[in-house]
Amino acid sequence: MHSEAALFGTLTLTSLYKIRLRGGDGAQSEEMVEVRGFKERVSTALEQRRNTSMLDSGDAMAALHMVSAVLFDGGTSAEWDQFLDIAKAYVAQHPVVTMKSWHSSPVMEGSSSTALAARSGNAPTTMVDKKTQFIIKTVAWFDVIGSVTMRRTPFFLDTYRELFGRQGGAAMERIMGCNEKVLLAIAETAALAAWRRDEEEKGTLNFMKLAKRAGEIEEILSFTGPLDNGAGFTEYWGMDEARAEQERQARTVRLVSNVFRATGRLYLHTVVSQCNPDVQDIKVAVQSTIEAFKALQASDFDRSLVFPITLAGCMTDNKDYRGYLEGRLLQLGPKGQAVGNSGSCLKLMQAVWKKRDQQLTGPRIFDWIDTMNDLGWCLLLV
């Protein structure tokens, strides 16, 4: 679909990428004025399409381009959420969701749910092209991670429960690096965080119910699956290069998934015990996350791991751990910092550290999301 929104979404993204890559950031520069003009055209076109219920895959892709544009621009603006809403509206009206036919469609090819439906042979089939598959998976990822910083229940939580609530699979893992079960656990934890906030505001928080729900999420995270410590590369000896490369990529996916699994457990503990780095469960979860990172060689892929890095960084007082996580972001270099939100994530971590280090007595509970809000930011940690 070559919609107006798709055209100007692409222009916005490519123009902003080039500007940031060169290190340009003058808000009043001629190039940035042009970019803002592109963004306005996209916003107007998407709102018109949404108001008439005529959203198509081109519009959804344009909305995701705009989310990426916000990330390229430092990621601190809440604009990403407005564009994500449009992409979610497209997915919500897609037959894969409305007919609940994802089990037999290729949209989640590789998941246990798809395999189960294929064996049963009685589920409706909805054909989905590669572009739409990408849109649906990306929207799911942004929906869950965005719900963490927004402290809200993910929009498609019921869908994730039905889709990922069996044995989990590799459909999301291959694209985002996060196992489906772990993604479900993070989604459930975001919902738990929203519930806890609402109950506390009403003065009706039931700690037994909180513990029960947390235990159910812990069970999701405790699924059977081998952990890979990154050792044993000599096993590639004797393989042809193509096969060896496939094995290396598969191992990298497993190592990244380990990082997200450890992060999911850390996130859960911060919701249950609040952001208190002195709590033993949080200390252990931070250590597990660091160990998972150390098994994974630092690379440009760390740009996709800003959620684990930021959460672990904000939740540790260990100076060695702080330095290590800071280094994972700094190794991306000036260009890596210029294009994306890693620089903003580092500043958030440092802001939390400053608050906590200045608190010499009493509880040192500083919520990283509250600190982010104090900065006037709304980060999407992807």
pLDDT tens for each residue of 159-173: 999 988 765 555 677
Name which of 127-131, 194-198, 233-237 the model is least confident about: 233-237
- pLDDT-based confidence at residue 106 (cuts at 50, 70, 90): low
What's the gap between Cα 96 and its chain centre?
Answer: 22
Round the average pLDDT of the chain to a whole number and report it: 87
* pLDDT tens digits, one per residue of 45-70: 999 998 888 899 999 999 999 999 99
Cβ burial, residue 252 (10 Å; 0-12/13-18/19+): middle
Which amino acid, one-letter code, is at 120? S
Mean pLDDT (whole number) for 356-366 = 87
Q: What is the pLDDT of residue 100?
A: 67
